[in-house]
Amino acid sequence: MRFCCCHVEREARRIRRVKSWQTALAIFAALATSVTLAEDVKTNDGKGANLTDTAVPSPSASSAQQPNREDTVRVGLEYYSPEEQAADTRKSAQVEGFSSKEKKEALAKIPAGGTCAVELYADAFEAADPKRLTYVIFNSTGKEIERRKGKSILAARKIGYYWWKGGDQIDLPAIQDSLRVRIYDELHSQTLAEYVFRPKQEPDRVCCDKFLPPPGERGILGKILR
């Protein structure tokens, strides 16, 4: 299943910087401004009833605990695979005349599981700060292998009449069988999204359609939601 369109892929390929933090930030900036074609949202239930945690609810529990009120927060994700990053790095190394050593060092900095650009939408500037988020990563057996706090890589900016959007990134560990990434909102004590990652495949969003990005904004891999 492939959600991104050719326009976004061409845009991503124009990124030239190969250092780890520069690459991730450039990816996010390019993807945040490009325009893509609209198509329907497709999600699937996914597995994960065994992903329990004392601080963060399980997928089934978190869905039942979503507040019955007007949504004031949404979240989207853009995935840049290690294979894509490696291809861009080699191309950039050739264009910029990197030595063999510099090229090898740049390739070594690519996250083993790829990079995710997180887009947080909220109804106020202060609320669109990804520092309110926690990312929990589980392996294919449901065991938590990593937990990290969100950070603000791109300051919130106004989009349209209602929403503000801030940006963060997640560098993923190596994907063996699969990984599940939960995006948890500490401010409202609720799960905003869960994604399942498999080797050489696009991620599947398997939870919380209620918190998909606003209409006209990106969903998964450059998809525009109707």
The range of the structural domain enclosing residue 199 comes to: 6-211
* Residue 126 forms part of a structural domain: yes
* Selection from 151, 109, 143 nearest residue 19 by Cα: 109
Higher pLDDT, 65 or 209: 209
Pairwise CA distance, residues 178 & 51, whole Å? 13
* Residue 73 forms part of a structural domain: yes
* Selection from 75, 76, 74, 73 nearest residue 8 by Cα: 76
For the chain, give the percent of residues with pLDDT over 90.
60
pLDDT band at 16 (very low <50, low <70, confident <90, very high): very low
* Residue 223 forms part of a structural domain: no
Pairwise CA distance, residues 167 & 150, whole Å? 10
pLDDT value of residue 218: 61
**Amino acid in the structure at residue 164:** W
Q: How many structural domains are present in the chain?
A: 1
Model pTM above 0.75: no
Task: Say if residue 187's pLDDT is above 50.
Answer: yes
Average pLDDT (48-77) is 55
| Look-up of token digits 């401010």 | 187
Pairwise CA distance, residues 137 & 143, whole Å? 8
| Average pLDDT value over all residues in the chain | 76
In three-state form (DSSP H/G/I as H, E/B as E, the rest C), the secondary structure along 64-101 is HCCCCCCCCEEEEEEEECHHHHHHHHHHHHHHHCCCHH
* Residue 26 forms part of a structural domain: yes
pLDDT tens digits along 135-180: 999 999 999 999 999 999 999 999 988 899 999 999 999 999 999 9
